[in-house]
Amino acid sequence: MGTTRDHLRQGTRVIHERLHHHPSFSELMDETIALSGYFALLTRLFGYHHGLELALDSAVFPERPQAPPVDRRSQRLLQDLEDLGPSGSDKAPHTQTVKLAAIESYGAWLGVLYVREGSMMGGRALAAKLDHLFGTQLAGRRFFQGGGGDGAAWQRLCRALDALVEPAAQDQALKAALASFELFDAWMMPREPITRSGV
């Protein structure tokens, strides 16, 4: 068996590739998403990321100091939602949050974090797809644009994963990563359709 990262890459490849074509992102990718649809997408993403943060924060293991801290990416989503104006005030995104089962091992904790941190790696490419809504301004796309420390956090996570060498712990990481991907798929799919520009 290779490194934990190899284990995760190979084990999640199918669902990862499937989620690349998730309908919730298709209109963002082809730059036809309307402002109302974008707001709906951010609201869904808030519910997922906030739920992951709560689960990651509540799980405490002796090994955690070796891993990166859990950045509050959901706060960027809230700021983006506020940037879109008072029309979103009745949506109460803070009440729409996924519920994860308790994370019971450090390996599983890293598996959940792997999904959360990995989802940010292509964010800037997605941020560039929003010029038709925001021009050159940052407001409204802070979540996808990310922060200056994202790369360092990813590298620190990679080191923590590389230090996870026990096969049982690697399997725990993979199981948690797959569950997190499946939860994302289930959470995003049943929501109302995204509205295309001009419709």
The whole model's pTM is what?
0.85
For the chain, the structural domain boundaries read 4-188
Evaluate whether 140 touches 76 at the Cβ level (below 8 Å): no
Between residues 99 and 149, the one the model is more confident about: 99
Q: If you average pLDDT over each of 84-88, 95-99, 164-168, 191-195, which comes out highest?
A: 164-168
Evaluate whether 41 touches 33 at the Cβ level (below 8 Å): yes
DSSP track, 64-116: GGGSPP---HHHHHHHHHHHT-GGGTTS-GGG----PPPP-SHHHHHHHHHHH
Average pLDDT estimate for 70-95:
73
DSSP track, 166-190: -HHHHHHHHHHHHHHHHHHHHHHTT
Question: What angle (nearest 5°) sits at the alpha carbon of residue 30, between those of residues 19 and 149?
Answer: 65
3-class DSSP state for residue 162? helix
Between residues 92 and 97, the one the model is more confident about: 97
Cα 175 to Cα 167: distance, rounded to the nearest angstrom: 12
CATH of region 4-188, choose from 1.20.910.10, 1.10.240.10, 1.20.58.220, 3.30.450.270: 1.20.910.10
One-letter identity of residue 68: P
Evaluate whether 64 touches 29 at the Cβ level (below 8 Å): no
Classify the C-alpha dihedral 175-68-100-118 as positive or negative.
negative
Residue-wise pLDDT for 121-167, tens only, equals 778 888 889 999 999 888 899 999 887 777 788 888 888 899 998 99
